[in-house]
């Protein structure tokens, strides 16, 4: 409880001193937590990284080596651990890849900072040095980068393969083709290339294998045709999208209908039937032969639709309705009375197919599809889930590369090159900041070092050899080939990553490190929304000295 001594204004924040951690102890605890989180995902880095199995309280199992997935599934209570989870989410949302790298770099920077703090270097000096190093590192990455455009399909495929390797390795080449084709299909060239990630849907269905996954230039809806009497296939489909129910709605206020004779009951049922029939007639009059409804369709309405030969699907997700609108050009209408031929979309083929024993509706052959679906197949849910994560990473990486138009060589080659340049830069800075810049350079080397460890190579010998090769102008693309367990030119090996994956990781890691190093006091606070108890003899503001 807060207490105030009116004589000397001494403030005691907590009556229980055990709940407060200060100074170096607070910094050590925070750094320890950050290092523990980083070490938890460090071994997943690279194509030969190990997987993690996360089992929740209900016994549900997640098997993955995707950093963002592991961190989001882990049970982390400490605030610093949650900060690193947020950093990984930011990296995932911004560029779609590099989530493990950003957490490993954050843990590495804090580990190096801990040693400097032990040598009595103030945290503000470390922060300043890290800030200078981060700025320079991003400049050096930009100097290393090569240009790429959406027309360069081979390079885009290399980026996708690099991103997916280690996650869905056995099918990465086939899935990479799907990724590049999907992005090219939904891209728009007005005022430069723009790509909306939301226009690419990933749908999973068990059975077959990953190599049987396919790209549908349209939309796949995991629903069945609503009535057996309806056609299961419609060529030259004219599609209506309705987000209201094809049912007789209840009144908004409570209403009581009193029926005293069979004639009145029949009249009521006839009126209801007439309303449903009118809805279907409006749909028919618009020229629609396929209906996707976001809400329910009454049994009687289904009967009338069947008689008119209209294919209908009900309870379609809002996100799928949006994709259907983009793919077919249809407008989503709220009322059947407002539906007309200008609101309809078009597709060459709408077909209900059996996939793994379950019905799915395929909408294909759209004139100018600005929405596509990647249908992922696999032998188990775990395989498909991991393939989905790999596809999401690849989509994010390729879109980021096109957006910025710059790529760098992977496999730790760019990290070593930037580290070499940072050490040269540190010599020009001098002072204690030089130590922080050197520490930043050493942290970047964690990436190639970890890659070497996962490949079974000696990490120290690997780093020494890499530094030696990068000291020469001809060695800037030399990195760790984890498959051959040797150092090779990774640009020629087509191991390519988007520049933004590197620069965003540097930005996020340095910012979270700076925030954590600034904390020197951990105080137990009250729950938000609950006012702290008023100290005794303080009836409002009048109890404070000098207040009237």
Rounded CA gap, 544 and 442, in Å?
Answer: 53
Rounded CA gap, 410 and 339, in Å?
Answer: 53
Convert the pLDDT of each residue in 60-83 to its tens digit: 888 877 777 888 888 888 888 888
Name residues of the chain where pLDDT drops below 70.
1-23, 167-172, 191, 249-259, 263-271, 524-548
pLDDT of 172 reads: 67
Cβ count within 10 A of residue 377: 21
Rounded CA gap, 350 and 355, in Å?
Answer: 15
The per-residue DSSP string of 278-332 comes to HHHHHHHHHT-SEEEESS-B-HHHHHHHHHTT-EEE-S--HHHHHHHHHHH-PPE
pLDDT of 266 reads: 61
Asked if 65 contacts 49 with a C-beta cutoff of 8 angstroms, the reply is: yes
Catalytic residues: 66, 99-100, 393
CATH class of 21-146+409-521: mainly alpha
Convert the pLDDT of each residue in 209-251 to its tens digit: 888 888 988 899 999 999 999 999 999 999 999 998 888 765 4
Q: Which residues pair with 479 in a beta bridge?
A: 488
pLDDT of 539 reads: 45
CA distances from 267 to 162, 263, 279 (A): 68, 6, 19
pLDDT of 47 reads: 82
pLDDT of 545 reads: 42
The domains of the chain are located at: 1-19+523-548, 21-146+409-521, 149-217+369-404, 219-368
Rounded CA gap, 30 and 522, in Å?
Answer: 9
Question: What sections of 405-493 are H helices per DSSP?
Answer: 413-429, 433-444, 446-454, 459-470
Assign 246 to helix, strand or coil: strand
pLDDT of 14 reads: 43
As a CATH number, domain 219-368 is 3.50.7.10
Task: Extract the tokens encoding 162.
Answer: 């690099």
Rounded CA gap, 121 and 19, in Å?
Answer: 27
Rounded CA gap, 322 and 327, in Å?
Answer: 9
pLDDT of 8 reads: 43
Rounded CA gap, 455 and 487, in Å?
Answer: 11
- Nearest to 179, CA basis, from 201, 147, 157, 206: 157
Q: Which residues pair with 244 in a beta bridge?
A: none
Check whether domain 149-217+369-404 has CATH 3.30.260.10, yes or no: yes
pLDDT of 256 reads: 65
């Amino acid at each position: 409880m807060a207490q105030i001594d009116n004589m000397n204004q001494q403030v005691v924040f907590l009556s229980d001193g055990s709940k407060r951690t200060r100074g170096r102890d607070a910094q050590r605890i925070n750094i320890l937590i950050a290092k523990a989180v980083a070490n938890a995902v460090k071994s997943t880095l690279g194509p030969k990284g190990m997987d993690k199995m996360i089992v929740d309280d209900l016994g549900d199992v997640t098997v993955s080596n995707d950093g963002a997935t592991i961190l989001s599934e882990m049970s982390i209570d400490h605030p610093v651990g949650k900060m690193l989870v947020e950093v990984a989410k930011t990296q995932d949302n911004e560029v779609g890849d590099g989530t493990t790298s950003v957490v490993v770099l954050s843990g590495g920077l804090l580990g190096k900072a801990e040693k400097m703090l032990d040598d009595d270097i103030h945290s503000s000096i470390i922060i300043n040095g890290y800030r200078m190093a981060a700025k320079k590192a991003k400049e050096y990455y930009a100097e290393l980068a090569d240009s790429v455009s959406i027309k360069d399909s081979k390079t885009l495929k290399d980026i996708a393969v690099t991103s997916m390797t280690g996650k869905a390795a056995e099918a990465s080449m086939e899935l990479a083709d799907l990724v590049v084709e999907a992005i090219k299909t939904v891209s728009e060239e007005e005022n430069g290339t723009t790509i909306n990630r939301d226009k690419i849907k990933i749908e999973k269905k068990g059975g077959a294998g990953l190599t049987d996954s396919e790209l549908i230039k349209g939309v796949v809806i995991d629903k069945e045709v609503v009535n057996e009497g309806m056609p299961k296939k419609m060529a030259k489909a004219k599609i209506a999208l309705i987000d209201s129910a094809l049912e007789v709605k209840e009144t908004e206020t409570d209403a009581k209908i009193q029926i005293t004779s069979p004639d009145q009951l029949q009249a009521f049922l006839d009126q209801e039937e007439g309303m449903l029939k009118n809805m279907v007639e409006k749909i028919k009059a618009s020229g629609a032969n396929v209906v996707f409804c976001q809400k329910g369709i009454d049994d009687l309405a289904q009967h009338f639709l069947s008689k008119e030969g209209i294919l209908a699907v009900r309870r379609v997700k809002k996100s799928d309705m949006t994709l259907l609108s983009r793919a077919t050009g249809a407008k989503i209408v709220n009322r059947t009375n407002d539906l007309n031929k200008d609101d309809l979309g078009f597709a060459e083929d709408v077909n209900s197919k059996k996939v793994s024993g379950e019905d799915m509706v395929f909408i294909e052959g759209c004139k100018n599809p600005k929405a596509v679906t990647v249908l992922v197949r696999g032998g188990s849910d775990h395989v498909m889930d991991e393939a989905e994560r790999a596809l999401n990473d690849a989509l994010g990486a390729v879109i980021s590369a096109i957006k910025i138009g710059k790529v760098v060589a992977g496999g730790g080659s760019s990290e070593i090159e930037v580290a070499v340049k940072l050490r040269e830069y540190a010599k020009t800075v001098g002072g204690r900041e030089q130590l922080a810049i050197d520490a930043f350079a050493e942290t970047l080397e964690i990436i190639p070092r970890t890659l070497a460890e996962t490949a079974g190579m000696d990490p120290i010998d690997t780093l020494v050899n890499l530094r030696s090769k990068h000291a020469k102008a001809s060695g800037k693309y030399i990195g760790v080939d984890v498959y051959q367990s040797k150092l090779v030119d990774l640009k020629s090996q087509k191991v390519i990553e988007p520049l933004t994956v590197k620069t965003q990781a540097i930005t996020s890691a340095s910012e979270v490190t700076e925030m954590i190093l600034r904390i020197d006091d951990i105080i137990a606070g009250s729950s938000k929304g609950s006012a702290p108890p008023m100290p005794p003899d303080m009836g409002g503001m009048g109890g404070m000295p000098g207040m009237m």
